[in-house]
Structure 1
């Protein structure tokens, strides 16, 4: 039984041993409206290609796990309504029922490892939500990083989360958290979360080498590479803090909970920043795609 279907371009790249970068699909179905979602998805894929790797956008379509989408599939997914948001818990159910679902960080990692893809570029990972000491709301992304051997390039945890607690959980789970090119952990839209980085690496080759060495040691799980948003696109932490606080209060006032919290907060912050948060989001995703392609190339050099 074939568990996934690669696109022709991804199948060719994997067979030839060329670098491939996995991409999630929730940014398409849950992150932006049509047609901007398609435009950004194409830009991210083009960025991966122009930096020497093949993009593999991952999604479940009518029960089939696709590792890499054709442009026609990408366009169709961008216009599909009622798409499920898949993580480890519900990915298999969606596939068995023949439904369509977009992959979160955790689900994308699972599919990438299944296909033999070691590098994944995203915007920001999930983590420990504010008030988790009462709600126990912690993203499955963190556990996935501890058990699935994929190096994830992100601009840190989403700024709406409790980043200190997120870092504590990652440390407990034994996940290497690497800051790229700086000594501080970035916070999604901001370059500095106010926390020192446990590890720092300044080149794609170093990151690739660490991933390969983890495999040789038999260590489970992957790596989290926190790549700071470009300076020109940054929204300072001091500017964001009161905006995030207001958005969180609005969510509480409206009884927003569970999986609905993150999309609500991101939309509210978009409104409160008059669209600036979305512009920053696009810039950081493209920046992460560039670095991911470089890391994928370096991994291919080591393993050939």
Structure 2
């Protein structure tokens, strides 16, 4: 058995049948510096509460799977050093050895499903990296979406990725990709991309019904809800394109590979946008949290 600990708020919500939204913890440990990481995490949790649902930030602490963090745990995690970044491949090992780790998209999906939570809000999913035809660098997030029945609300895939190939892989894996309120697939910091979204839905209620229908049909896997960043917070794609290209060229020059690629690129883009990429990132995470809360609420109503 897995040692699992619910926060008091999440335990009460589960007992009462209230809507719950899962949140990852890598935004706290690997996303931004202290104390901004704690402030943003607390704000996103409050956004979910204000929308009528209960937040459940997920992390492994000293070998215990925590579903929801108390305020002191959140503070401690935000200042901790050497926290592992957990995905499907290493989550069980961290639990087994008493380690502490922050959950990525894939690990958060696994933990949420284990805890009976069906909706998860994040910033952007991982996907197919540029040059994957030679590096084979493809995020575990895509396969997780194909097998774990959680609806994931994200601002698309991170714009540093090969978005066209990411959509192709998701199609091959049978993952529904639903753009919220528009026909285009959003590109993380930018509301739109040249790519058409496979599906469009304009309400949280329809997304919840689709989730419930997949469950009723016995289909494996979840849904990706691609929720565009608000227009007022976005950075235009045409402005970002040369910045991303420059960051990728720098990564190649410095021979950055594997798990080091994404954080390196994000840091370079942060520098070249004078911090605007982080401001946009925070805005899109909060926007995703609000939509996820609406979906979780609709799912509870659907089950009644």
Aligned to 2:158: 158
Q: Gaps (5+ residues) in structure 1? A: none
CA displacement 1:120-160 (0-9 Å, x = unmatched):
00000000000000000000000000000000000000000
Aligned to 1:103: 103
Alpha-carbon distance in 1 for matches of 2:2, 2:159:
38
Residue 254 of structure 1: how far off its partner (Å): 1.1
Could you tell me how far apart the structure 2 residues matched to 1:13 and 1:107 are? 22
Distance 1:106 1:243 in 2: 28
Q: By how many angstroms is 1:2 displaced?
A: 4.5
* Paired residues of 2:123 and 2:155 also in contact (CA < 8 A): yes
CA contact (8 A) 2:3 2:63 kept: no
Match of 1:182 in 2: 182
| Secondary structure in structure 2 of the residue aligned to 1:179 | strand
User: SS of the residue aligned with 1:109?
Assistant: helix
What is the aligned partner in structure 1 of residue 202 from structure 2?
202
Deviations 1:219-239 (A, max 9, x none): 000000000000101101100
Name the SS for the 1:153 alignment partner: strand
Aligned to 1:169: 169
Provide the rounded CA distance (Å) in 2 between the counterparts of 1:2 and 1:91. Answer: 11
Structure 1 residue runs of 4+, over 3 Å off? Answer: none
Helix, strand or coil: the match of 1:110? Answer: helix
**2:192 matched to which residue of 1?**
192
Say how many residue pairs are matched. Answer: 304
State the partner residue of 2:67: 67
Whole-angstrom distance in 2 between the partners of 1:137 and 1:4: 32
Structure 1 CA distance, aligned partners of 2:41 and 2:250?
Answer: 30
Deviation at 1:8, TM superposition (A): 1.1
Aligned with 2:268: secondary structure? helix
Q: Report the Cα offset of residue 193 of structure 1.
A: 1.6
1:176 is displaced (CA, Å) by: 0.2
Q: Secondary structure at the match of 1:210?
A: helix
Deviates further, 212-221 or 247-256: 247-256
Q: For 1:156, what is the secondary structure of its paired residue? A: coil
Partners of 2:222 and 2:5 lie apart in 1 by: 23
Q: Does 1:30 align with 2:35?
A: no
Instruction: Encode CA deviations 1:204-232: one digit per residue, 9 max, x unaligned.
Output: 00000000000000000000000000010
What residue is the counterpart of 2:87 in the other structure? 87
Q: TM-score, normalised by structure 1?
A: 0.99
Please state if 1:246 is matched with 2:262. Answer: no
C-alpha separation in 2, matches of 1:71 and 1:253: 42
What CA deviation, in whole Å up to 9, does each residue of 1:265-304 have, x standing for no partner? 0011000000000000000000000000000000000112
Q: Offset of 1:3 from its aligned partner?
A: 3.8
Which residue of structure 1 aligns with residue 52 of structure 2? 52
Change (3 A) 1:188 1:167: same
- Rounded to whole Å, the distance in 1 between the matches of 2:61 and 2:194 is 40
Q: Does 1:144 align with 2:144?
A: yes
Asked if 1 retains the 8 angstrom alpha-carbon contact of 2:23 and 2:108, the reply is yes
Describe the superposition over 1:77-100 as per-residue Cα deviations: whole angstroms up to 9, x where unpaired. Answer: 000011100000000011111111
Alignment of 1:261-276 (within 5 A): 261-276=261-276
1:29, 1:289 → 2: CA distance?
19
Q: Distance in 2 between matches of 1:257 and 1:35?
A: 29
In structure 2, distance between residues paired with 1:270 and 1:18: 38
TM-score, normalised with respect to structure 2: 0.99
For structure 2, the residue ranges without an aligned partner over 5 or more in a row are: none
Question: For the residues of structure 2 that align with 1:99 and 1:110, how far apart are their CA atoms?
Answer: 17
CA–CA distance in 1 between the matches of 2:164 and 2:132? 12
